[in-house]
Structure formats: structure tokens, C-alpha cells
Amino acid sequence: MRSILLRVTAAIGLAVLFAACGPAATQQQGKTTDSGEGSSVKAASGDAVIEYNRAVELKNDGDLDEALEAADAAIEIQADFAGAHFTRGSILRKLERYEDAAAAFKAAREHEPQYAMSWSMEGAMLIRLEREEEAVESLKKALELEPDEMQNYLNLGTALRRLERLEEAVDLYKTGLEKSPDDLELSSNLAVALCKLRRYEEAIVLLEIAIERDPKHAEFRVNMAVALRSAKRFDEAAAQYEKAIDLGAKGSGLLFDLAYCYENMDKKKKAIATYEKYLAEIGDTNPKAHARVMKSLKRLQSK
């Protein structure tokens, strides 16, 4: 599953692939579940596998606390059981304990270094923790192990963008698109990087294609709106913001950007109403943004 929040004017969202599987576990007798495709196989003891399978079943049922206890029990029985460490990381991620999840995925890849998903998930958690330099190293290893997995390009590109290594991100996305030309998320991420490099028209072309193929994708609309606004094509940008909001795009920053477009289109009443709606949404949470909007409102109301 891919989950992406793509904005140029706000914190870049994280593309994270949540896999329910980990490195494969085997035992002399009995059946295992939740085995990871493509991983090398390391034998696990019967009791460890029983706890591991129980952890997976509980996690899938949403009983995360008991699932974590079962994963811990599997690791206590067999400390080098990579699959149990991976499943533990997956549970901790769902519990939003990202520091612990990163440590669990690190343990998984230490015990089974050829399993790319452990490197990828460690990198994703490190991005959550704003430890992008470390994330880049983990994600490069994931990409080395699985060069045809597009999620590795998305995650590594996110880390590179956050580090302002934009040319590297552009080259990475282009390499991914050579392998998977129809991947719209890669195209959209490439557009975000190009936009940050002020290559707006290139970004707009990519996003036009993405929107044509998936017109109900709200994030593509947001990215297009940002690119158009940055290119000072305010009428077109406003239309994209409106459509994105209609499609369910979230974030009060969208209202600020839309109001800014209205202001530059000389739509005074719409600009004032949208700025006021933005203020109502942010409340006292962002004093700098509040002050900026009040300045814009004062300017508009004096016209």
C-alpha cells in the first residue's frame, strides 16, 4: 500500500509501504504464515514460529498489544529470528512508536541482510523521525537489493528531497520511470522535485498526464495547483485547489494557497472569506501564519 502526501509548500509527506510480511520462517513440521517473498530462509525453532504466527494473526486482527507480546516472545526464544523482528517493527509502526520500529527493522536486516523490505522499512521509519541522512543509506541498500521495486524509489526520493538533494532526486525518479513508465506516483514525485527546482513547466506537463490518467487523485491536483501557483498562473491554480478540496484533499494550508490565488486574481470577497476560513481552522496553532493572514486581510480590506 502506498500512502503519499505531496506538497511543495508544506512538509513533504512520506511514502511508506506497509508490508505485513517479514523474512521467511521455517520449521521441521507445521505451517508458517506471513513469509516474505524473495527473502532467504533461515530455520527458526518450532516454539519461536508458533509465537511468530500468533503475533501475525493478532496483528492482522488489530490486537496490537498482544501481538507485540507474541513477537517479543518469539524473539526471546530465538534472538536471531529476522521475521519476528520485522513483524515487531510492523506492529510498532502501527502503534506509531517509530523509534522502536526503526530499531526493530534494523535488527531484522542485521539478522537477514539480503531481505530488502527490512532496509526499506527502516529507512521509512527514519524519515518519520527526520533522520534523513541515515534513511538515505538504508534506502540505497533496499534499492540495491530490489532495483525493480518502485516503492524504494519513492521512499529514497522523499529522503533526498527533504535533504534538498533535488538533482539527485530528479535523477532517481527518472531512473524509476525508465523501469516503470506508467507509475503515476513516481511521475508526481518527480514533478514535486522539479517544482522545488523552479522547473515549473516541466512539472506541469508531468502532472497534466497524471491527472488525465487519474482525474480523481486529489494529491495530483494539489501538486498541479502548487506548480501553477508558483508559475503565477493563478486562475488555473485556483481551479485545481478547488477540485482537490472537493476530492477530499486535507490540510489548512490548501485554504491559504487558494486565498492567495484569489487575492492575485482580484477576487477580493473570495480571498477574504477563504483567509477567514483558514484562520478558523488553524486557531492559535500557528502564530506566524496567523500574523501573515491578518496582514493580508488588512491589505485587502483597505482596498
Give the C-alpha separation, 232 to 209, whole Å. Answer: 20
Radius of gyration of the chain (CA): 23
Q: Is the CA virtual torsion 174, 177, 181, 187 positive or negative?
A: negative
Q: What does the pLDDT read at residue 42?
A: 56
Q: What is the mean pLDDT of residues 61-84?
A: 96
Tell me the three cell numbers of residue 95: 502503534
Q: What is the mean pLDDT of residues 224-240?
A: 98
Q: What is the mean pLDDT of residues 78-93?
A: 96
Q: What does the pLDDT read at residue 14?
A: 33
pLDDT at 11 over 60: no
Give the C-alpha separation, 217 to 206, whole Å. Answer: 14
Is 63 part of any domain?
Answer: no
pLDDT at 55 over 70: yes
Is 192 part of any domain?
Answer: no
pLDDT grade for 43, boundaries at 50, 70 and 90 = low
Give the C-alpha separation, 162 to 59, whole Å. Answer: 32
Total structural domains within the chain? 1
Which domain range does residue 284 map to? 251-303
Give the C-alpha separation, 271 to 265, whole Å. Answer: 9
Is 302 part of any domain?
Answer: yes
State the DSSP code for 62. Answer: T
Surface-to-core class of residue 8, CB atoms within 10 Å of its CB (0-12 exposed, 13-18 middle, 19+ buried): buried
pLDDT grade for 252, boundaries at 50, 70 and 90 = confident
Is 225 part of any domain?
Answer: no
pLDDT grade for 230, boundaries at 50, 70 and 90 = very high
Is 258 part of any domain?
Answer: yes
Indicate the residue type of 277.
K
Is 268 part of any domain?
Answer: yes
Is 297 part of any domain?
Answer: yes
Cβ neighbours of residue 252 under 8 Å, at least 6 residues apart?
278, 281, 282
Q: What does the pLDDT read at residue 302?
A: 84
Cβ neighbours of residue 11 under 8 Å, at least 6 residues apart?
none
Entry pTM = 0.80
- Angle value at C-alpha 184, between 178 and 230, nearest 5 degrees: 105
Is 188 part of any domain?
Answer: no
